[in-house]
Structure 1
Amino acid sequence: MLCVGAWLPAAAQPLRIGIYENEPKVFTDASGEAAGIFVDLTREMAEREGWTLEFVRCEWDACLRALQRGELDLLPDVAYSDRRARTLDFHRQPALLSWSQVYVREDTGLLSLFQLQEKRVAVLRNSVQHETFAKMADAFGVDVHLVPVADLAHVFELTARNEADAAIANHRYGLLHGPRYGLEATPIVFDPAQLYFATAKGRHADLLAAIDRWLVDWRQDDTSPYYDIVRRWEKPLRQPLVPVGFWWGLGGVIALMLLALAAAAWLRREVATKTRHLQESERKLATILDTVGACIFIKDRALRYVYANRQTQELFARPVEAIIGKGDEAFFDATTAEQLQASDRRVIEAGERVTSEDTNTTADNAEKRTYLAVKIPLRDTRGRIYGLCGIATDISERKRNEEAIYRLAYFDTLTGLPNRSLLMKQMSESLSTASETSIQGLIYIDLDDFKDLNDLHGHAVGDDLLRDVAQRLRTLMQSEEQLARLGGDEFAILLKGLSSKPDQARIEAERLAQRILAILKEAYRLGDFRHHGTCSIGVAMVEERGEDDAEELLKRAELAMYQAKRAGRNTIRFFDAEVRAAVAARIVMEADLRTALSEEQFRLVYQPQVDAEQRVIGAEALVRWDHPLQGEISPGEFIPVAESSGLILGLGRLVLSTACYQLAKWEKDASMAHLTLAVNVSTRQFRSVGFVDDLLTIIQETGAPRSRLKLELTETVLIEDLEEAAETITTLSRLGICVSLDDFGTGYSSLAYLKLLPLSQLKIDQSFVRDVLEDPAAAAIARSVVGLGKSLEVEVIAEGVETTAQLEFLSGIGCRLYQGYLFGRPTEVEALERLAGRLQGA
């Protein structure tokens, strides 16, 4: 026995580790020291954890028994199986991957499992290979005589001495020791396995947890000790310069020729039995393939169909007899056939696995459908490609739905232009890939007196004007300029091809802005009258190379537009010193915000949320700022500054803590204990490190009931990183904390991936609620959200309900929860409690 490592103060005894001979994974070297991949991994972990290691030599099955009796604490290189899991514990992250292979004496010519009929096969006693190979041979009707032995060296020795016809070992041991015993690998490969450290059942959970932590951490870093160890030990296992597959191919041909006559008699005896089994298997396989909802087909090297399942036959509207032997040109138009054959040739000629999304047109041009296709090469026993197998799933409906959702989320339904969300996405991408040869900028356009036109002539006339404006702006666009409608009567143009010289770039931007002023000043024919309108334009230029903040660029252009408004309208203003003064005001507000946080100048107000009977079921907590000099400041002014400065993290924690204290207080009042409390969580706060842990600390400190806390998130959280957001939302849901998706319907990602998120509630955005009685698109979106909520069994609440007519419409489409001025404005907690008590009593 050999001891290495440092003493672990928390443990009275060293960690006893079983060592058996399975080089290079675990073995005893020539000096009697424990060695191998698993041993080095253990030493690395022991050095970090402070373990003392004691290596105990034993044969494989003796090691297993000692582990189960508690005489060993840890056994490396153990393949997982359900049977072993009844008596052993394993960590979660596999330490190593391996597979088993059959080895024979050189020039034996073993190519198939069937050639082992009535042969002696040496195998490690009580190993996974022992059990798995026995089952595999039995399943194929091959009667083999297994010879179980104590260690792998003995397995190879028996085979080398002709006391066994074949040996079974893991591929690493075989590659390392096969040549020394005059043994070579066969094409018979089986039992891909995940290898672990194991302990006796229920004895060392903490040890396995520590192993898991190191393996997970190391396997994410290509420079970690894990990969250094594996590369060092597997370096001697490199394949020869001439691929083994070449010699097997060549040897296989010769062997088959020599064995053909000798095997003929045996084959005749076996063919009848195997044919019956094969025919039955083929019938079962055909039944399975015909019920799969995808086209499955096989082509030969000439790209002719040699198999087509029922779905493929239905696609081509022909029986299988009319498909076999034909190529794609018989079923698709020339362009489609050429594209399909090009991907087929990659599979046949290069041996690639090809995954593609194909839009196919039938030969008569009658129909186009989109398929997700996967094609793989088919190889014979010598590795030669004789055809390909393809699976094509019809995703046409999904593509149409995605396109419709994309247009709804990223394009303005009135003008057909990109909307604000798409513009911001395009701006971010453009700024991040800016060229050194040009300057970028943004033009912000706002129609003058548009509200007066709407009020005087109605929304229909206003819509006509907006469509006409969009069309006129389109005529001015160059290829590198991107036009969008931001909302209402506001438009924007992203400039990407301006001169690299700042003064010249400014001139070019102003020239386009002047053309916009001129073309939008021309008379409009709106129904039976002529309208003359103007616009105010703000222009912001990217001021420094590498500047990539799209939001900041948009803010600058908007600020410049407001300067144009104040200058009398129908004019142009660039973001300049005067506009910078407004930015300076934001800086002052940021400083005031820091003071406000330290001096607790913030308070919460509560807007009631009611059910169909107008009973108060909860409230939304909203933050208010009582500035000592300026009085109450609107959240619309200070929240954006808090977001951009990072102060939203401290403010958000303050709001959460205050809300949780209020929930805990209600918990002690029988008349209020049923109320839920919704709290808005900003994207930055939600994505901050340790958000969930911080929230749990607040809940624990305040004693708030988790089930009645509801976190409201905007769809921006999902758009920025859906995978991370889904993981956090799932964690919150498991902790019993409800998550509501606020402003639902204004983004894209949540519509496409909503089913992945364990949400408790969807909130119909107030912009839709406001227009449900006048705008068919808003009404349709509201209906869709309610329907989606029902299908996913998620609550739906409408915010911004201000009139009885809106309430009746929402009730009529199945929405049962509401929030808005119709039921109560945001108010102090005492007023909410009085309202809740009164409506509850009513």
Structure 2
Amino acid sequence: MRIAVAALLLLCVCSRLVAAEREVVVGVYQNAPKITADADGQPSGILGDLLGEIARSQQWQLKPVQCDWAYCLQLLQAGEIDLLPDVAYTEQRALQLDFHETPALYSWSQLYTAPGVSLNSIEQLAGKTVLVLQDSVQQHYLQRWSTESGIAVQLSTVRSMPEAFALLSAGQAEVVAANHYFGQAQRNKYNLTQSNVIFQPSRLFYATKKGYNQDLLTVIETRLAQWQSNASSPYYQVLQRWGTNTPQRQVPQYVWLILAMLSSLLLLALAGAWWLKRQVSDKTRHLQVSEDRLNTILNSVDAHIYIKDIKGRYQYVNRKVAQLFGCEPAEAVGRRDDAFFDAASSANIQQNDQKVLQLGERLVEEEYNTSLDGEQSHTFLSVKLPLRDNRGHIYALCGISTDITELKQHQQEIHQLAFYDVLTGLPNRRMVLERLKHAVEFKQRQTDSAQGALLFIDLDHFKDLNDSLGHAMGDQLLQQVAQRLQTHLRKVDTLARLGGDEFVVLLTDLHPDIELSSQKASLIGEKIVQLLAEPFELQERPYTISASVGVAMFSDGCNSDELLQRADLAMYDAKDRGRNGVRFFNQQMQADVSSRADIVNGLRLALAQQQFVLHFQPQLQRDAGVVGAEVLIRWQHPTEGMIAPAHFIPVAESSGQIQAIGRWVLQQSCHQLAEWARWPETANWYLAVNISARQLHSSGFVAEVSKVLQDSGARPQCLVLEITESQLLQDIDSVIAKMQQLTALGVRFSLDDFGTGYSSLSYLKRLPLRQLKIDRSFVRDILTDPNDKAIIKTILALGQSLELAVIAEGVETDDQYQKLLQLGCQQFQGYYFGKPESLDVFMKNCK
């Protein structure tokens, strides 16, 4: 009666729980196949699927919290999660956690070793590094064993078992301790060896915080007790799904008491016969159960398992093999491989089988098999073992084949990404550099072999295409370039894309003679230029582009890195000479590059150590004398002396250092103007400062000039900024806007080298200029060339009509000066009046 009442109460409680649709927070950590998270983050694995079955029956809403083992345990003890699967029972844990009664799984711990490490007993752990899961039963057991045995073991904790196996496979330790479920599933993936050392059998449960969530444990206990007593229950279905042995259940043993009196020998014989028949029946039943369990295991394993006789006929196949063959397992028995695979695959399989059957050796081989209809192909990693009878004779083989098709595809994709360009499919920088290195080393070893060369190809003005038509059209052009070059180059040559619009061609087997090989490389380079000069088709319209090609020969005797650098230098030389051509590397290029590098480094040091100085060349007004000066920079090198700007300004402009240098010149000039303003005789003098293109097009140029004027206290009207016509060709509207802002502050602008550029009147009338500067090339031949005289006269007239002052530079003789006066010029600058000198000399000469 009491039992019935208790059952009724339990049923009521369960009914309320079902109706309540409770949310259960579950800790999930990675320890497949026992517990893991699926693609949606939900609990999976054996214990995760079992919990899912229970949750569905109870209308629980599982809320997973993914964490590593140690952190999951901390969250459970803190009550931040309701339930944690896969907890091994220990007395110490029972002080803080609650468990149900029926174990969910039985497990044990086992040691796995890295390749080459031998381990036959636990005592051999002395001096070895052992990886263990943090706060796991393996860690506590080995710590206790090490202390009690006096054998020193270096335990290294990890946050997860996959991390432990990966570290062991990478050689970071020698041994890892793991539960046998994870070890059996993962050891082959990491190429680890399973030792014979087994320890600490464990019972695995779902656990809750002490004194909390007893209703959860009650439901779990009820379900596990019911399911484990029924071979067709969800419990065994989950185990089969994950390919796991069913746990040993404690089947009740009945003791049969025979109290009947033996009345005769006949009755005793009959009883004995009956007993023997019963034993045979029990044994048969147990054997059948064992066979069914074995079949369940073999059919659940994610591998193709089979047995063949000595004639190659299948004697057994598991469900995986039958699915591959497209038939039932019984239909495959007695048939050979030629019934399922094509002729080539069958011949290869038969050859491998004979090695096992005839030599009696274990075989591990990759087998590429194609189905009989040719529609499916798979790559298998096959392990085949001979089977022997009691006399040692081989009567069959057992094979285990794992489908690694996807793995091989991933390997191919990784290789493709590592060594080939994604856009064009050509070899990438990494591959071509390896081939170049091998080719150069071979040539250095075999001095009498054919010469080789490296061609560096760069598309001219490719950036214009990207800017005008977009990067998609640029990518399309690069693909067409790659296809065209591949079509016309030799099979022995290597075409590769380095990146952007840069390609290289590695030429080998040209000719042993250096001169002939150079001629052949030149012909190939010219052919490439001609090929790329032919129109391409973009957006159904022809598009023409050119290419610059640099050539470096193996005969130069340099290594692969130097060879690539020299070909690059030769390509830039081709660009400097007008593009659309071929240039060979020579030693002068290297000398120029080295010299430029020295100047770049020297300029950086010169800025830091204040090695620059300013020189001043006077500018004169007719009948007024000196009215100002042009500021000219000089480099006072500590070892090479005074260096003229023509030697370092071009390098400063190309390297980007001109902005810092220009900023320094502007600051020094404004400070000098502020100093002159203190004295009446120099207060109205101005300084003309040359502005680089980088400075002028800088977004912060106006603010920079304004700040320098404010900080120095210089009068803006005394600052003249000189610009050239070439600086106005790019983004002229932005330049005009900046000039107008500075003009509003009082700064004046002078157009330098006027007449040597485009001299467009359309932009000249828009510019807020105050002065035109006649280039020295017109002044030099003013006495002998009527054209120069006419040009100067025109510039003077233009300046007068636009109300612009005109100054002539490069005046070196009195005759030139008199001629300019005759033409109406009022302002002058040149050696006739004074050379660029230091400030002290300039001031002395002006007094």
Give the TM-score normalised by structure 1: 0.38
Give the TM-score normalised by structure 2: 0.38
Larger Cα Rg: Structure 1 or Structure 2?
2
